[in-house]
Amino acid sequence: MDITSEELKQRMDSGEKLNIIDVRESYEYEEFNIGAKLVPLGTIQSVIDDLGDWKDEEVIVHCKAGGRSAAARDFMMKNGFTNVRNLLGGMLDWQAKFGNK
């Protein structure tokens, strides 16, 4: 169910169209991001309907270390999303392995 930084980077590098949501706060996103859609965890309840087109598609969620995105994944799954994957280790793991790329 979860996804590693290596798998995600490989899929991104291959040009695959991915649905990625960053659930960090906007200041964290501004410091570094991988181009995901920014939906801070505190706002996900109010925008869940706007993400309805992705209900039956794979959605990858990430945060700084994996805790907030795990909560987002659980919330989305309880609201009818069928394939939500959490990025293991979040942006901390990503930056440790790939830097700011």
Q: Give pLDDT, residue 100.
A: 82
Domains along the sequence of the chain with CATH: 5-98 (3.40.250.10)
Question: pLDDT band at residue 1, thresholds of 50, 70 and 90?
Answer: confident
Q: Give pLDDT, residue 28.
A: 97
Q: Is the pTM of this model over 0.75?
A: yes
Question: pLDDT band at residue 38, thresholds of 50, 70 and 90?
Answer: very high
* Secondary structure letter of residue 84 according to DSSP: E
Tell me the per-residue pLDDT of 88-100, one tens digit each, with 9 for 90 and over: 999 999 999 999 8
Q: Give pLDDT, residue 26.
A: 98
Average per-residue pLDDT in the chain?
Answer: 97
